[in-house]
Homo-oligomer: A and B are copies of this chain.
Amino acid sequence: MATTTTDDSRKENNHDLTRERSNASFNINEITEIIDGGVEKTKFRKEMEKLLFDDPMFKDFYKTFFKTRSELYEESIARGVKLFSLRQKYKWTDEQFEVVEDLVNHLFGMSLHFTMFIPSLERLATETQKAKWLPLATNFKILGTYAQTEMGHGTYLQGLETTATYDPVTEEFILNTPHKSSMKWWPGSLGKSSTHAVVQAVLIINGKNYGMHPFMLQLRSLDNHMPLPGIEVGDIGPKMTLNYNDNGFLLLKNVRIPRQHMLMKHAQVSSDGKYTSSGPNKAIYATMVLVRVKMTKWVHDALRQAITTAIRYSAVRHQSKMDDSGPEPQIIDYQTQQYKLFPVLADTYALFFMSRNLRRQYNRMMEEIRNKGSYKMLAEIHSISCGLKGLSSKIGIDGASICRTACGGHGYLMVAGISEVLGLLHSVVTAEGEYTIVLLQTARYLMKQIARVSVGEVVTESCEYLNVDPQSFSCPLQTLADCFNLTFLCDIFRNRANSLIRSVASRLQIAIESGTPQHIAMNNNLQSLVRVAEAHCETIMVLDFTAAVTSLRTSPETIKVLTSLCQLHALHTIVKNAGDFMETESVGLEQMKMIREQELKLLEIIRPNAVALVDAFDLHDDSLGSLLGVYDGHVYERLYESTKYNPMNQKEVHPSYYKYLKPLMSGEMISKL
């Protein structure tokens, strides 16, 4: 018989979870504080949880799954307005507001007002322009977004088609989206909410194309919110997730704006149509980097929701028998279930430490820019953040997909919350640089670095391993115990990436030297280039995780359990890419056998701490948004209770009965045909 808890027992947690928790070998608070960034930050987060989740507007996240799109949009606008007002009232810093955003899973409207609109003004507007628009924006007199992506072009900015043609007679720009493919399509909060947008358009003066420039455009009347003349704006339709957001489209037909509405910090057009520019704007790249850096953290956030649910549910769910005589085991006791979930758990931690380190590197770079005006670190951080954003999204999708299926049929319910996470992660793969495109950015950087090595120049820190000759490598794994040695494992990852990079570089060189045009040689090796970028980024993740666990200042038990996760992350990544590691002779046949054996051994080592390791993420039930993953483990009761809120159950007899089923049963329907 399955584990059941009666309604009376609801006051106590599910007894399986209680036992799991008491079996943990470490103090979960130590990990929680590492993740929050210190005890003070944990305290702040808990205060925010109280403030938000005592408010019915933010409670019971799972109920959003019963809403129509329009209701979802309305709820998100209500939440956004509430959060903006609270932000104003409590004077939260940006960092504090990020905590709040994470707690509500970014499920609120108009978020681009703070994340894109205001920062765009700060970055792109002149002082005069800022003095005019920033107070309006920060006091919500205008609500804005950022409109760049078009139906025909996303990542490839040179292809954008919206035009801003200067008319010196009236001193205005005339904005147009000349083709269907030129309409803005995708910008968040554009469809129904925003009154203004920073619009990217190709600047044309006297028939000459000056490339993409930013313009301030009012979309809707401040009196009645109606679109202004020449402007057609609306919602682009339902998506995999993010359906609370009114991602929008925008068609412009001869919309005239004053010359002063071009954001002129970096380039200017004078009243007589003279163009001046202070050159390429590096600061804009730094902002793009920040978005990708943040996205690696969002993947961690999303994946920890999925893995928390999957592991808790696997501890609560009992099924089948291993042995004819015994009881039905918790499904987490099956090796196959562990093999699905524990590597995802390890990946989730790996993502955290990688993303923390990436953010620190980003902060160091910004400090250099601010203090010394030096953009020296930009190329490297750009290349790393591209690849790691891509790789994270892949790890995220794969991991969430595993969690989804590991929860069986019930994982297919929306209230399980994992489908939502999976859909969200799908957006990360394509947003802010499509997977392949960003990986190729990283690959191009790697090709430059290996070229430097070949002429004896110094390479950047993330590529230092390129200085080693792979010919001199021999796999250090000689015993089973060696497979847990993180130094050895890091060397193996470095060697595999090094070998792959050198092999593509040499294939490219041979092709070009033999007369193949460079772009064809590149295209013929594009897939290999993606593969080397993945190998490089997987190396960074193992190195970051290793560096983190070997430098932790916490109790030995916590270090021990995180070290096991780091080992599992490394070994599982090798097993998943066994071909690569063997083809580059980073490991041999015998070593692969040992690695596979030790990978399974780690499942046993991690098993007693599995539930505690997801508890350590300390996700509030209202942030988790899953009825399968609730802290108290009363899964079946919650599922049943959720049926009460399901609109399909509001009436015993659905109207379709009278319209269709009754006529079918009475024979009336068939006689009508």
* Chain A residues with a Cβ under 8 A of chain B: 1-5, 65-66, 68-70, 73-74, 77-78, 80-81, 84-86, 88-89, 109, 139-143, 149, 151-156, 158-159, 161, 179-181, 183, 185-186, 191-193, 195, 222, 224-227, 234-240, 246, 249, 318-323, 326, 328, 333-337, 339-340, 397, 401, 404-405, 408-415, 419, 423, 426-427, 429-431, 434-437, 440, 517, 519-520, 522-527, 530, 575, 577-583, 585, 589, 592-593, 600, 636-637, 639-640, 642-643, 646-649, 652-657, 659-665, 667, 669-670, 673
A2, A84, A410, A581: most-surrounded residue (chain B CB, <10 A): A2
Residues of B with C-beta under 8 A to A109: 656
A449 → chain B, closest Cβ, in Å? 21
Once A81-B669, A405-B430, A409-B431 are accepted as A-B contacts, the answer to whether A1 and B161 lie under 8 Å apart by CB is yes
Bound-state Cα–Cα, A358 to B10, Å: 49
Identify the closest chain B residue to A642 (Cβ).
Answer: B237
Identify the closest chain B residue to A5 (Cβ).
Answer: B180
Q: Which of B151, B185, B414, B436 contacts A238 (CB 8 A)?
A: B414
Bound-state Cα–Cα, A246 to B647, Å: 12
Residues of B with C-beta under 8 A to A427: 412
Contact yes or no, A408 B154, CB < 8 A: yes
Contact yes or no, B2 A152, CB < 8 A: yes
Contact yes or no, A654 B522, CB < 8 A: no
Given A151-B636, A335-B526, 8 more A-B residue pairs with CB atoms under 8 Å apart are A2-B181, A66-B238, A85-B664, A192-B653, A237-B648, A334-B526, A409-B430, A583-B592
Bound-state Cα–Cα, A519 to B323, Å: 6
Residues of B with C-beta under 8 A to A77: 656, 659-661
Contact yes or no, B412 A240, CB < 8 A: yes
Q: Write 22 A-B pairs (CB below 8 A) sorted by A numbering.
A: A2-B159, A5-B180, A77-B661, A80-B660, A81-B663, A84-B664, A109-B656, A140-B664, A140-B665, A154-B409, A156-B328, A192-B654, A237-B643, A240-B414, A246-B654, A335-B527, A336-B436, A412-B426, A419-B426, A527-B600, A579-B581, A583-B592
Smallest CB-CB A-B distances: 8 pairs:
A578-B579, A2-B152, A235-B648, A323-B519, A2-B181, A335-B526, A4-B179, A322-B519
A151, A579, A652: most-surrounded residue (chain B CB, <10 A): A579
Identify the closest chain B residue to A587 (Cβ).
Answer: B579
Bound-state Cα–Cα, A85 to B660, Å: 11
Contact yes or no, A401 B409, CB < 8 A: no
Contact yes or no, B649 A234, CB < 8 A: yes
A5 → chain B, closest Cβ, in Å? 8
Contact yes or no, B530 A336, CB < 8 A: yes
Bound-state Cα–Cα, A648 to B78, Å: 17
Once A89-B673, A193-B661 are accepted as A-B contacts, the answer to whether A237 and B159 lie under 8 Å apart by CB is no
Contact yes or no, B4 A152, CB < 8 A: yes
